[in-house]
Amino acid sequence: MTAIVTASVICMNQNYIGRDVKACLDSGIDHFHIDPMDGMYVPRLGMYPEQVRYIKEEFPNTVIDVHTMLTEPNKYVKEFLDAGSDIVMMHSENQKNLYGTLGLINSYGRKAGVCLNIATDVNFLKMLKDEIYVVMLMGFNPGILNQELWPGLYDKIKAVKDVTDGKVKVMIDGGVKFYTARQLQDAGADYLVGGSSTVFHKDGTVAQNVKKINEVLNG
Angle between helices 206-218 and 17-26 (to 10 degrees): 40
| CATH number of the structural domain spanning residue 117 | 3.20.20.70
Strands 63-68 and 87-91: parallel
Note the pLDDT of residue 145: 62
Residue 184 is which amino acid? L
Provide the domain count of the chain.
Answer: 1
Domain that holds residue 193: 4-218
pLDDT tens by residue, 105-163: 999 999 999 999 999 999 999 999 999 999 999 998 765 666 688 899 999 999 999 99
Q: Which residues pair with 67 in a beta bridge?
A: 89
Note the pLDDT of residue 169: 98
Radius of gyration of the chain (CA): 16
DSSP for 43-103?
Answer: SSB---HHHHHHHHHH--S-EEEEEEB-SSGGGTHHHHHHHT-SEEEEEGGG-SSHHHHHH
Would you name the residues annotated as active-site residues?
35, 173
pLDDT beyond 70 at 216: yes
